[in-house]
Amino acid sequence: MTTARLSRQVVYGKNGMVCTNSPLSAAAGLKVLQEGGNAFDAALATAATETVTMVPMCGIGGDSFILLYEAENSRVTGISSAGVPGSGTSADYYRKQGLTKMPLEGPHSVGVPGEVAAWEEVHRRFCSKPFEQLLDSAIGYAEDGFAVPPKIAQSFASTSERLAGYPSTKEVLLAGGKTPGEGDLLVNKDLAESLKRIATGGADEFYKGELARKRVKSLNDAGGLFTADDFANHRPEIYDPIGTTYRGETVFQTRPPSQGFLHLEMLNLIEGFDLTDKSYDNPEAIHLMVEAKKIAYADRNRLAGDPRVVEWPLDEIISKEYADRRRGEINLQMAGTESPNILAGKSDGNTTYFCVADRAGNAVSWVHSLSHGFGSRFIAGGLASCSTTALGVDLAWNRATPTSSHPESVRCTL
């Protein structure tokens, strides 16, 4: 497929690069590279800064899914850090509250955050700079403030009424009852204090210390179903990533409960078509990609779930043989009948991605998310950041499907 007509130019560099939607976060990562840090150091600094500057999309209350490439040994490592519901969670409990599915916001939609645990795991395994140094930029922007960019201002404007419905959120994000607008200075002293405690106390402070105690109390006072052990027992998953080949190149992805397998399934389906002379906006190419996505998303909705509690044929779905069978369902002349029924259709899909590379060839690919705009919209004490609502993306109560709630289950949502 040709890309000559893309409006954005390809950027090249020889000493390293940080690619993110947040200029301030990119600057934080580049600063680390310029000071002799590796790609992993820069990625951690970038991730931490994004949790401050991209408030609707990620935060220390969110989750992370990461791929890390070490040039020295050509090894790719996957890290997934997505939290489970409170141990008191059950479908029966929510039915008694008059609910037919988990809410998209509020304390009942919250899971144990995985972001900070991912930071510490990345630092322990890959980084060369002190942990607290890599959080400097994030702490600075939280404490001194930053000018709200247009897209973030739009997110605040469209969600401010919902945010104001939670007193703790209103106090932190809508200070003085004012919705942050484009160019306004957004200061979050509470978040700065939380980040300082994390910088010195690490993940233990976040999951077992005073921050954790405040958070559990705040969540449960608001009707949550958490125990101290729910937070203390959180551990990131470290693994060899899943993968496939695409036209001679090896492609890696994060394991479930992320949705990385969808990417691999789509590539396998598309590989059977010749796209050599087609531009990125060619109607036939777009049709093929849409149909491949419809098949993959339908498979997700029918089969996928947290592998710790749901058995499903992941290896088969990302195999070439499976793609060969399903590819025949794609009609080149008309739309297929497969209905993806996108579960996240009711949300605005706010998740953010960045990648980093250094001059040695090390590279990091990082997704972190609150699942939809401002996540649960609920800020628990000791957090100063909205919590993820990955548990609440249109979860049904049918125990026979992978979308059922389970106290040890994470939804396939990212």
- Residues designated catalytic: 351
What is the rounded CA–CA span in Å between residue 224 and residue 14? Answer: 49
| Residue 248 exposed, middle or buried by CB count within 10 Å (0-12, 13-18, 19+) | exposed
Three-state secondary structure readout of 184-251: CEECCHHHHHHHHHHHHHHHHHHHCCHHHHHHHHHHHHCCCCCCHHHHHCCCCEEECCEEEEECCEEE
E strand or H helix at 59, and its extent? none
Q: How many CB atoms lie within 10 A of CB 360?
A: 12
Among candidates 225, 197, 232, which has minimal Cα distance to 211? Answer: 197
DSSP secondary structure code for residue 61 in this structure: B
Dist CA 87 CA 228 (whole Å): 10
90, burial (CB in 10 Å: exposed 0-12, middle 13-18, buried 19+): middle
What's the CA gap between 116 and 191, in Å, rounded? Answer: 13
> In this structure, what are the phi and psi dihedrals at residue 185, rounded to the nearest 5 degrees?
-85, 120
Residue type, 179: T
